[in-house]
């Protein structure tokens, strides 16, 4: 092969990538004058292939956006939590709320509260679009009964949840019910209407009126597919909740926690953070501990964490913060990863 022929071959292979780049650029950033100068067959070829590249990029972007949402457990406190801005849990709930609105950006929120137990074997859920508040507490200052929390329900999402529950053989029905303080008190901190509004539909679902940890775990598993649809599941309760001992706890120096508030909170953390294949078993065992009835004379405030763990599927649980206080404990949990902002 002659030197001149070699040079022509070499020049061709250098020029071809440059030509491809120029043509692709013109087709994605069209100039009418230059585009008309391209041969029609060449234009069709690059148009088809750049279209495939664009479609592939859009598909990859959609796949990233469809990452499973995390599941949350809030220790929500009493109706005073939204007014006690100096309490250590206040900025914690604020930070979790911002994480949800700014990083997760849910299409909707489904909430399970310790303050709604329907019946031993049937789940109820709010299928109304407009929802009032239920002031389900007594003996607090008058302003507590004037609290508000703006929200909109979603009959369509409620219907979707009913379908999931029935597919899991869990009896369920929809009805109209207000949001209880297990939702609106903590949510007024996490999702302040003034500084961090939720701005998406909110549907509340009941617990069973029983203390069966496995039944509540299965309830969480039943609604887990919602996480693939951009919906965040939040479960609210307390990791230790003994109102009977409240006066005894107040007599402790500087609000020192009662021994069971520490021991049970630690045991629950160990169970929740255990490997997924043993998590359900270990969490059920926690309810049989000697200090379990001290920590929860009635386990309504504990059951929501089992729903959260069930909804988490194969995602690990992590305690993000806690504080035993008197006869209570304020642990906050997240299951799964938070999308990067």
Q: Per residue in 245-258, pLDDT tens?
A: 988 887 777 769 99
In this predicted structure, what is the pLDDT of residue 246?
87
Cβ–Cβ < 8 Å for 200, 106:
yes
CA gap 199, 101 in Å, rounded: 9
Identify the residue with better confidence: 152 or 4. 152
Q: For the purposes of burial, counting CB atoms within 10 Å of the CB of 46, is it exposed (0-12), middle (13-18) or buried (19 or more)?
A: middle
Query: Mean pLDDT over residues 96-112, rounded?
Result: 98
Q: CATH 3.40.830.10 occupies which residues in the chain?
A: 68-335
Write out the two tokens for 264: 């049970």
Q: What is the mean pLDDT of residues 332-337?
A: 98
Specify the pLDDT at position 56: 40
Q: CATH assignment of 68-335, given 3.40.830.10, 3.40.50.300, 3.90.180.10, 3.30.420.40?
A: 3.40.830.10
């Amino acid at each position: 092969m002659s030197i001149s022929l070699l040079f022509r071959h070499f020049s061709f292979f250098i020029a071809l990538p440059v030509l491809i780049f120029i043509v692709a650029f013109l087709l994605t950033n069209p100039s009418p004058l230059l585009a008309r100068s391209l041969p029609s067959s060449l234009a069709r070829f690059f148009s088809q292939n750049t279209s495939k590249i664009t479609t592939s990029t859009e598909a990859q972007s959609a796949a990233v956006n469809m990452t499973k949402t995390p599941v949350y457990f809030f220790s929500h406190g009493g109706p005073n939590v939204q007014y006690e801005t100096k309490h250590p849990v206040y900025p914690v709930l604020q930070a979790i709320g911002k994480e949800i609105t700014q990083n997760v950006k849910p299409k909707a929120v489904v909430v399970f509260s310790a303050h709604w137990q329907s019946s031993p074997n049937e789940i109820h859920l709010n299928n109304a679009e407009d929802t009032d508040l239920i002031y389900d507490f007594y003996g607090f200052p008058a302003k507590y009964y004037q609290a508000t929390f703006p929200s909109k329900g979603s009959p369509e999402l409620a219907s979707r949840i009913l379908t999931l529950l029935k597919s899991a053989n869990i009896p369920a029905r929809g009805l109209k019910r207000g949001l209880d303080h297990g939702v609106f008190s903590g949510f007024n901190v996490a999702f302040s209407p003034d500084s961090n509004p939720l701005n998406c539909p909110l549907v509340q679902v009941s617990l069973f009126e029983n203390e069966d940890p496995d039944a509540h775990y299965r309830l969480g598993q039943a609604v887990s597919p919602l996480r693939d649809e951009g919906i965040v599941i939040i479960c609210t309760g307390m990791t230790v909740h003994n109102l009977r001992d409240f006066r005894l706890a107040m007599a402790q120096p500087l609000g020192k926690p009662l021994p069971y508030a520490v021991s049970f909170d630690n045991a629950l953390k160990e169970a929740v953070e255990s490997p997924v294949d043993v998590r359900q078993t270990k969490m059920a065992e926690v309810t049989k501990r000697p200090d379990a009835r001290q920590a929860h004379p009635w386990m309504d405030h504990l059951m929501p964490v089992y729903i959260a763990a069930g909804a988490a599927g194969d995602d690990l649980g992590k305690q993000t913060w806690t504080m035993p206080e008197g006869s209570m404990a304020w642990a906050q949990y997240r299951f799964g990863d938070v999308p990067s902002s």
